[in-house]
A and B are shown apart, each in its own frame.
Chain A
Amino acid sequence: GAGVSQSPSNKVTEKGKDVELRCDPISGHTALYWYRQRLGQGLEFLIYFQGNSAPDKSGLPSDRFSAERTGESVSTLTIQRTQQEDSAVYLCASSLGGSVNEQFFGPGTRLTVL
């Protein structure tokens, strides 16, 4: 019954380290999205999952970014060799999919790369 959850809520890392961000969507939601919000900017789309396949990865900014999803459940966004420009709030959303349904957002993970 809970909403979308994300962990950790905050992550501070050193430049060059890898990080993993987790998203637990609402149960039964087949569509899952990752967005990024850098300071003073709007949300940027990163990747879309329908089930465990990712038909749209067009927003991933570089090959350092990857994501996977297990069935219609948890998703993990991995950033390798983090850079300072990766600092942002990473938001996950889920929806019923199939049409332009309401997307339900998690609270986000604030990533700071030192």
Chain B
Amino acid sequence: GDSVTQMEGPVTLSEEAFLTINCTYTATGYPSLFWYVQYPGEGLQLLLKATKADDKGSNKGFEATYRKETTSFHLEKGSVQVSDSAVYFCALGRQGGSEKLVFGKGTKLTVNP
């Protein structure tokens, strides 16, 4: 069945550092891919998504490119801020059927000033 694997955390960075959180998936066909973020004390919210191969999702300075050849959707940001401290979840979903999301285990990011 479908699965998502993301890098284990926690990840601790200094402000303005470059961020990469790796995410790979196992799925047949062409799922849609998502990054969700959970800020401290808040609910999960969509950060960005890509629905087909080679699409790049972007939001709030974060980017991820849907790479079918490597079955990856790595999250990147060029310069992190303290306010980016959160737990990040990679997920996949399929159009049709239940459209449920399959999530990775999450990666906790802490950015220090």
> What residues make up the interface of A, taking CB atoms closer than 8 Å to B?
3-4, 31, 33, 35, 40-45, 48, 55-56, 58-59, 91, 93, 95, 97, 99-108
Contact = CB atoms under 8 A, between A and B. Distances in A.
Interface of B: 4, 32, 36, 42-46, 49, 51, 89, 91, 93-95, 97-106
Contacts of A108: 43
B98 A42 contact: no
16 contacts: A3-B43, A31-B99, A35-B101, A41-B105, A43-B44, A43-B89, A45-B98, A45-B101, A56-B97, A56-B98, A59-B100, A100-B51, A102-B46, A103-B46, A104-B45, A106-B43
A94 B104 CA distance: 20
Contacts of A102: 46, 49
Contacts of B94: 100
